[in-house]
Amino acid sequence: MKITDVITYPVSYELDTEFWMSREPYRTASAIIVQVRTDDGVVGTGIINGRPMTEIVNIVTMLRDVIMGMDALAHEAVWQKIFAITYTRAGAALDRDAGQPHFGAGKRPQILAALAGIDLALWDIKGKALKLPIWRLLGATSGTTYAYASGGYYEAGEPILKVAQEMASYVDMGYTAVKMKCAGVSLADDVKRVSEVRAAIGPETKLMLDANLGYSLDEATDALRAYEKFNIFWFEEPLYWYDSIRALGELARRTHVAIAGGESQLTAWEARDLVDLGGVNFMQFDATRAGGITELLRVAHYCHLRHVRITPHHDPEIHAHVVAAMVNGFGVETFPYKARDPLWDRLYSKKPIIKDSYLHLDSEPGFGFELDWQEVENHKLI
Ligand SMILES: [Mg+2]
């Protein structure tokens, strides 16, 4: 079964509300859909979450020539061939006009994102060719995983305590774990938000806090001391980007609250360092951003050896297949707030069912979701 074509469909939705994480606004919900076609007529679909989207699309188009004619079931060989572009002279063909990568040119994160989309499409092909869902290919007994509700952004123009209603609405939907943002306002105001949320969701609901790289080590230490009385299930990506691994290890030694991270890591080697030096308890490596399922499996197996549970960032329709199969799979992140995530709400004509804090994949071959091609056409970026 040979690869005969690779096609991209970048889609983007403008949000009506401006949402904020600790440091960054969230004004559009976007993804790049990748299709890999084969001479057998089997078509695989992958999804990329990366930026800038036009650069990733250009790289996928370039990679089409690199992998054309390769065996579509040889995901490891395809992965190695593309990954080698990041460290060999093959990469010199990319970005010819921008000069040397060691002076700041080069597009390593975008290559890894492009690789993610192609790898995911190849796994979808493998499932479809063998007529099995990916969770079965990976050895799971069912396609059901734990699921938590992710939200609690700072909404421009809204009172900061509106978050309590939002998080309570997820509990009303049946969720037993909810996640909210922190580190976007003063610590005193964040403590008010967390306190109101805990009161609104009751004592039994798991509550996670995501700082999105928003604190120094000392600020994070103070913040944890203030938050921990609200029974925090995990504290996610607390530290500024520039010292987010070794200093995280120091923070982990200072607290009994579990630490989560991994969505910013681009390779299994980076994920390993986050475990070994950063002391994370929950690994959130994102297969749609970097390296696909092939890399996520390496991360998941390593995490198992180090007693770390996996709960990948975003895209549960992809990640649940791996979480369901891994002995250390914890759960998946889901986004019930339609205004914040129109992709989940509108992009699929068929997607997993989420009920009572569990996500259920069915037995369709491959990933098992189907895109609404009219939505793709209506929101196509390029
Ligand atoms: Mg996060």
Domain carrying residue 340: 137-374
Distance 313 CA to ligand 1 centre (A): 7
Q: Residues 145, 117: one domain?
A: no
Ligand 1 geometric centre to CA of 150 (Å): 9
Characterize the bridge pairing of strands 25-38 and 3-20. Answer: antiparallel
9 located within any domain: yes
* φ and ψ at residue 19, rounded to 5 degrees: -100, 145
Quick one: 250 and 357 in the same domain?
yes
- Centroid of ligand 1 to alpha carbon of 262 (angstroms): 8
Strand partners, 13: 29
- Positive or negative, the CA dihedral 80, 86, 89, 94 is positive
| Interval between CA 177 and ligand 1 midpoint (Å) | 15
pLDDT tens digits, the chain, 382 residues: what are they?
Answer: 999 999 999 999 999 999 999 999 999 999 999 999 999 999 999 999 999 999 999 999 999 999 999 999 999 999 999 999 999 888 877 766 666 666 666 789 999 999 999 999 999 999 999 999 999 999 999 999 999 999 999 998 899 899 999 999 999 999 999 999 999 999 999 999 999 999 999 999 999 999 999 999 999 999 999 999 999 999 999 999 999 999 999 999 999 999 999 999 999 999 999 999 999 999 999 999 999 999 999 999 999 999 999 999 999 999 999 999 999 999 999 999 999 999 999 999 999 999 999 999 999 999 999 999 999 999 998 7
Please give the structure tokens belonging to residue 188: 């005193």
Mark whether 116 and 157 lie in a shared domain. no
How far is the centre of ligand 1, averaged over its atoms, from the C-alpha of 74 (Å)? 32
Around ion ligand 1, residues with a beta carbon closer than 5 Å are 210
Read out DSSP for 270-335?
HHHHHHHTT--SEE---TTTTTHHHHHHHHHHHHHHTT-EE--SS-HHHHHHHHHH-TTB--EEE-
For residues 23 and 80, membership in a common domain is answered with yes
119 with 176, same domain: the answer is no
Residue 298 lies in a domain: yes
Q: What CA dihedral angle connects 296, 301, 307 and 312, to 10 degrees?
A: 20
pTM of the model: 0.97
Give the single-character DSSP code of 356.
Answer: T
* Contact by Cβ (8 Å): 340, 153: yes
The total number of structural domains that make up the chain: 2
Ligand 1 centroid to Cα of residue 236, in Å, is 6
User: Distance from the CA of 152 to the center of ligand 1, in angstroms?
Assistant: 12
CATH number for 311? 3.20.20.120
- For ligand 1, the distance from its centroid to the CA atom of residue 231, given in whole angstroms, is 19
Q: Is residue 380 part of a domain?
A: no
Task: Looking at the structure, tell me whether residues 242 and 304 fall in a common domain.
Answer: yes
- Kindly state whether residue 379 falls inside one of the protein's structural domains: no
Compute, in angstroms, the gap from residue 91 CA to the centroid of ligand 1: 30
Phi/psi-derived region of residue 21, left when phi > 0, alpha when psi is between -120 and 50, beta in every other case: beta
Q: How many A from CA of 218 to the centre of ligand 1?
A: 20
CA distance 335 to 49: 15
* Same domain (yes/no): 296, 170: yes
Q: Which of 20, 30, 344 is nearest to 212 (CA)?
A: 20
Q: 78: CA distance to ligand 1 center in Å? A: 29
Distance from the alpha carbon of residue 263 to the mean position of ligand 1, in angstroms: 7
